[in-house]
């Protein structure tokens, strides 16, 4: 199964000629989820070859414009494109009031349902779940109620070794029981431990999106062991006091979160417009967490299966 993250925007609040505000698409086995929706997100989707109609849900971290101003024209465009199935939007309050306002004045004839689900930003809990995925809210420390999101692939079912099926002459019923995790008793009374018959086809993977936040050791704990971690890095280490007052993180703080979380890989973004050289910011992170990359617009980060 494919698991990837496409970067649509990597800048902070102030617009620049070449950078777009926060937005990403998580793709798990051709199921597409939009994470934050800064201005121009629908154009960015089209530029990156992602059909907006394929979006299953939208996750908004907080109600600052550079993270949600692109959502409202996107909803209108989806109607023009012929969307008929509901669109689930997960966001903190008062997003419901904002959606109601747009519905009253701009979406009176919208041909599909927009379903808002309130995200409780002080709780670590599952906000969405389906057959293949869990999405957890991760409380963050910003100037307004904010949640990051942890995308966790569900554990795959057990496979039965076909050579063991032949060796022990397992019946269909015994194969099904083995897939449920049961030990198998043969006709001669011999008990075969489940671990000798089955294997996990791959290890479940995970991606964490930690948007605007001060340094948070608690957030690191809640995404512990994550395969790919995105962490905002608005400022360099020299601007630590400024970052603290604005509810943001520095390069070294992001790196420390990745280190504490024992993440396999870190990507950084949400850069202040004052920085023209993002490589310098990445180099600061690498002094603590070497496996750091830049969230370059248009880049796709793949989370490979680990067997």
Name the helix (H) or strand (E) containing 14: none
From the list 36, 66, 212, 227, the catalytic residue is: 66
155 CB-contact burial (10 Å; exposed 0-12 / middle 13-18 / buried 19+): exposed
Instruction: Provide DSSP, 101-156.
Output: HHHHHT-TT-SS-EEEEE--TT---EEEE-SSEEEEEEE--SSS--EEEEEEEPPP
Asked if residue 37 lies in contact with residue 60, where contact means CB atoms within 8 angstroms, the answer is yes
Q: What's the DSSP call for residue 167?
A: H
User: Residue 260 corresponds to which tokens in the numbers above?
Assistant: 């504490």
Q: Taking Cα atoms as reference points, which of 67, 70, 66, 69 lies closest to residue 78?
A: 70
Has 108 been annotated as catalytic?
A: no
Asked if residue 203 lies in contact with residue 52, where contact means CB atoms within 8 angstroms, the answer is no
- Please name the residues in contact with 295: beta carbons below 8 A apart, sequence gap of 6 or more: 7, 10, 24, 230, 267, 268, 269
Torsion of Cα atoms, 216 then 217 then 221 then 223, to 10°:
30
Q: Which residues are catalytic?
A: 66
């Amino acid at each position: 199964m494919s698991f990837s993250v496409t970067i649509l925007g990597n800048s902070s609040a102030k617009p620049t000629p070449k950078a777009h505000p926060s937005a990403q698409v998580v793709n798990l086995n051709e199921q597409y989820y939009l994470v934050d929706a800064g201005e121009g997100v629908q154009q960015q989707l089209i530029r990156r070859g992602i059909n907006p109609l394929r979006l299953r849900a939208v996750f908004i971290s907080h109600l600052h414009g550079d993270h949600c101003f692109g959502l409202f024209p996107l909803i209108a465009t989806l109607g023009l494109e012929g969307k008929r199935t509901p669109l689930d939007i997960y966001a903190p309050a008062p997003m419901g009031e904002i959606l109601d306002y747009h519905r009253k004045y701009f979406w009176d004839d919208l041909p599909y349902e927009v379903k808002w689900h309130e995200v409780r930003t002080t709780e670590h809990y599952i906000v969405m779940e389906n057959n293949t995925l869990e999405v957890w809210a991760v409380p963050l420390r910003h100037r307004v109620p904010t949640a990051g999101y942890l995308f966790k692939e569900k554990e795959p079912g057990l496979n039965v070794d076909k050579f063991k099926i032949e060796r022990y002459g397992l019946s269909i019923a015994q194969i099904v029981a083995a897939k449920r995790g049961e030990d198998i008793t043969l006709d001669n009374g011999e008990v075969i431990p489940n671990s000798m018959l089955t294997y996990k086809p791959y290890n479940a993977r995970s991606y964490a999106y930690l948007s605007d936040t001060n340094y948070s050791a608690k957030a690191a704990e809640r995404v512990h062991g994550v395969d790919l971690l995105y962490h905002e890095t608005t400022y360099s280490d020299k601007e630590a006091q400024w970052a603290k007052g604005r509810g943001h993180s520095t390069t070294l703080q992001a790196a420390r979160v990745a280190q504490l979380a024992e993440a396999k890989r870190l990507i950084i973004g949400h850069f202040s417009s004052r920085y023209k050289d993002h490589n310098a910011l990445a180099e600061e992170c690498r002094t603590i967490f070497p496996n750091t990359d830049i969230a370059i617009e248009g880049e796709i980060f793949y989370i490979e299966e680990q067997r």
